[in-house]
Amino acid sequence: MWPPHVPSYFNAGHHISTFLTAGHLRTLPEVDQVRAVDAGALNHTWKEIGDLLYQEQADVLAVINDFDNVDDLPRLLNYVRTLSPGTRVVTAGRLSTQAPRSFDAYDLDAIVVSGDPEAGVAAYVRHLAGTREAPLPGVVLRGQDPHEVPAGVFLPASEWVLPDVEEIPYDAYERMYQRDQNKFCGIPQRRELVVPASRGCPVNCSFCEVPTFQGLRDRRLTVERTVAYIRDSFAAHPFEYVAFYAPTFTLDRKWTEQLCRELIELGSPYPWKCATTMAHLSEPLLEAMAASGCVRVSVGVETLDPAGHASLPRLKRMEQERYDRFAAACSRLGIELNCFVIVGLPGTTAEGTEDTVRTIREAAGRVRPTVYSSMDRLRAATSPAAASAFNRQLLHPDEAPDQQAAHRLYGLVYGREDWVTPVADRIPQRLEQVR
């Protein structure tokens, strides 16, 4: 289950762990039945959660945790312990790998602190079934010393069980994407198929959870399996575009070129988008991507202010001239450029961040701002309150500038913006009759 909460940011790709974990558990001989529930898109009431817990009386509840959804975890656990007292609760996700000690305060039976969520949850389920002895890789059991736990397991891509599209609440996801000014990752008025193409990233930015959560090594589906999943999903459901969920999509250039060739051979029937870095792109590659159906590329610009470059890996330090060339190439090829900008990045000023945003908008780029959060400091958090201060929505109290500068920075995140992405116009509708 992805638990119910009020999202501050919504990315269907982050929620995919719910369905990847469910699929993996179904392959275990110890497991009779698995139900996957994403209640994190304003689509469940607490009454419905109570109904589910009371009626199912599940042996195990696996809760996918994230930076944004743990505020209501105590309430969920209270419902579980009251309505289904025999249910064991294990949690896995992005936050427990970054700040595992902060979860000690919750009434949990097990916490996955390293490795892939599905691998950790599966190890715990097998432990309860008596087919796996402790200590479990990457899993801290209730009362166990975390130092006794061996490192978690990063599954090879061949063992990923891709999501069952029939389980995913697409109607709810689309409602989350309706207002483009929220700067959520989806495209308004179009149905998105999330394809978890790769995990892991060697770029190792200090403000990114991926290196700890997924590892530094790139793990990737084969192109053949990727295309087959897209083709089968579009045949089964009225999807309208593909969102490749990968930390650095073009990290493996040969893989990307092969994917583009295969999509072009099919007639480029699937509009798609991805996220990567400018260092892993070139004009020839962009041309191939555009020809194969790419309509949006998201890149971590982070800042164009040279004063903030010391806080970035060398390959992500962006000079104005380089950005201008890249933006011009995207414009020429009809690819929307979606730029991640970090508000409050160490070394930057409010004026420098405003200049970055202005430059991107003048080049017809889409700005997706996020508030700086130090993963190194988050990993030291030992309480829920300490961890919640790193939710990427508010400046951390210990790092916030003076009140006037903070107000200007918050204006970039929360200020009025009427611009709406035009990229939906490039994606044919299949759900028009329904809408």
Fill in the DSSP letter of residue 409.
H
- The phi and psi torsions of 112 (rounded to 5 degrees) equal -85, 115
Domains of the chain: 12-148 (3.40.50), 178-426 (3.20.20.70)
- The phi and psi torsions of 300 (rounded to 5 degrees) equal -85, 85
Helices in 107-242 by DSSP H: which ranges? 117-128, 170-177, 210-214, 223-236
Instruction: State both tokens at 412.
Output: 């970039």
Per-residue pLDDT for the chain (435 aa), expressed as one digit of tens each? 999 999 999 999 999 999 999 999 999 999 999 999 999 999 999 999 999 999 999 999 999 999 989 999 999 999 999 999 999 999 999 999 999 999 999 999 999 999 999 999 999 999 999 999 999 999 999 999 999 999 999 999 999 999 999 999 999 999 999 999 999 999 999 999 999 999 999 999 999 999 999 999 999 999 999 999 999 999 999 999 999 999 999 999 999 999 999 999 999 999 999 999 999 999 999 999 999 999 999 999 999 999 999 999 999 998 889 999 999 999 999 999 999 999 999 999 999 999 999 999 998 889 999 999 999 899 989 998 899 888 899 999 888 889 999 999 999 999 998 889 999 999 999 866 444
Instruction: State both tokens at 321.
Output: 């001239």
Q: How many CA atoms lie within 13 A of 366 on its CB side?
A: 24
**What is the model's pLDDT at position 435?**
47
> What are the CA-CA distances from residue 349 to residues 25, 41, 324 (Å)?
47, 34, 21
Dump strand ranges (E) for 163-202. 192-195, 198-199
Using DSSP's 3-state secondary structure scheme, residue 356 falls into helix
**Cis, peptide link before residue 137, omega less than 30° from 0:** no
If we measure between CA atoms, which residue out of 126, 46, 116 comes closest to residue 83?
46
Cα–Cα distance between 207 and 392 in angstroms, integer?
Answer: 10
**What is the model's pLDDT at position 385?**
87
Give residue for tokens 């090879």: 156
Cα–Cα distance between 372 and 395 in angstroms, integer?
Answer: 7
Using DSSP's 3-state secondary structure scheme, residue 244 falls into strand
**What is the model's pLDDT at position 432?**
61
199, 215 in Cβ contact below 8 A? yes
Residues ≥6 apart with Cβ < 8 Å to 330:
286, 297, 336, 337
**What is the model's pLDDT at position 398?**
84
- Cα-based torsion angle of the residue sequence 382, 388, 390, 392 in order, rounded to the nearest 10 degrees: 160
Give residue for tokens 């179904």: 26
Cα–Cα distance between 130 and 133 in angstroms, integer?
Answer: 7
Fill in the DSSP letter of residue 149.
P
If you compute the radius of gyration of the chain from its CA atoms, what whole number of angstroms results? 21
400, 344 in Cβ contact below 8 A? yes
Cα 266 to chain center, whole Å?
29
**What is the model's pLDDT at position 433?**
47
Fill in the DSSP letter of residue 422.
-
Query: Does the predicted TM-score (pTM) go above 0.85?
Result: yes
Cα–Cα distance between 422 and 176 in angstroms, integer?
Answer: 18
**What is the model's pLDDT at position 389?**
87
